[in-house]
Structure 1
Amino acid sequence: MNSSNNLQGKVAFVQGGSRGIGAAIVKRLAREGAAVAFTYVSSEAQSQLLVDEVITMGGRVIAIKADSTEPEAIRRAIRETKAHFGGLDIVVNNAGTLIWDSIENLTLEDWERTVNTNVRSVFVASQEAALHMNDGGRIINIGSTNAERIPFVGGAIYGMSKSALVGLAKGLARDLGPRAITVNNIQPGPVDTDMNPDNGDSSEPVKAMGALGRYGKAEEIASFVAFIAGPEAGYITGASLMIDGGFSA
């Protein structure tokens, strides 16, 4: 397995890792030497394919079924990760939902699902991780450039939920700094995934909004996450870091 081994001996937990950006993060952390556990909700077959791919690469990985809207499921998954691999060093909170509609059409149920998935799940995972994580660990939340910029009608509750992660990272960084645990928020711009393809109906106007004129790749986000998880990023904490091709410039 081609690896820099920057994360050799580390144990990582990825909440929401079966597809898209999450799957790219799982593979990259494994290539860097980490043992990885990731969660999925319904895509069991896809998760098994990812497990098989990482094992074929020479990595160590397990998939755990856990709904990110259920706090106890998140806590159980983190405890299972530590029990299986013997420790916990890195937590990546990638689970999320996108409900995009005008304020006149949104329901309270839309608001609750957005907040529960995009904010509460991050808080719960971070809280549980703090109980089990080794000193010097990393908590990395996957936010969005929409915390800073809402380019179209309908992004109110999604942008709100991603903005919440900015403040959460700052507060958790203060709480966990004495243990040398860093907490950071990665804010991707448009990324080419099966759920948001770069040849989709709205892709051309979206590309035109970015300085680079293209969608990002899931592997580019994963590479940045691996750096923040690694030993050279130990002085970065409480930060919200854009990786958006100039979408917010």
Structure 2
Amino acid sequence: MKTASVQTTVPPLALRDVTRRYDSGGGGEVTALANVDFAVASGEVVAVVGPSGSGKSTMLNILGLLDEPTSGSVELRGEPTVGLSEAERTDARRESLGFVFQDFHLLPTLSAVENVRLPTAFLPEDATERARSLLELVGLGDRLDHTPDELSGGQKQRVAIARALINEPDVLLADEPTGNLDRDTGTAILEEVRRIADEAGVGVVAVTHDDLVTEYADRTVELVDGVLRDV
């Protein structure tokens, strides 16, 4: 399964000595991430595992520029993102990152094509044809005009993957990509993710509790109490 050709150039996304602390509410602090160094290469699939409360969601949010570290830095293509305005962070997310959510987050009144092209809604170019091509890429060429309630769980996840790819991101960030799927459907989704990484050179970071995901990853890292280590 682990067939990706991983590039050795500057990684598209990296954490450099990242620590994230939160106010515990009682005058103390909780350390969600402690001095984390991490990078994903183009075409590489990395699984992030660990028990609940270990910091996986915090790590994904910081990688996705949805949260900021207390110390350390996030780098996109080697450039630090510290100091970017909110508008600049939004632009960076749109240009470089794709998100696949556990619960799909599809709009129920929109067709598959309309859901996929939604991230481009405020851009001047019409992305309909690219949305159609991406849905065909993930095996949904015959479901272009179906709404979410006309799709299975696996098909919804494929739509979510296509939507995450609409802006040609460098990195795909996936939160429990098989969490709501049976094993056969989960396997099919992971084969699609693996193929996208191999053929399009997209880096993938998948936060998961599912051992199946690790079988399709080039490497697995584990978070325990905010500390990251290789498995």
Q: Which has the higher contact order (CA 8 A, sep 6+)?
A: 2
Structure with the larger helix share: 1
Instruction: Output the TM-score relative to the length of structure 2.
Output: 0.33
Instruction: Output the TM-score relative to the length of structure 1.
Output: 0.31
Structure with the larger strand share: 2
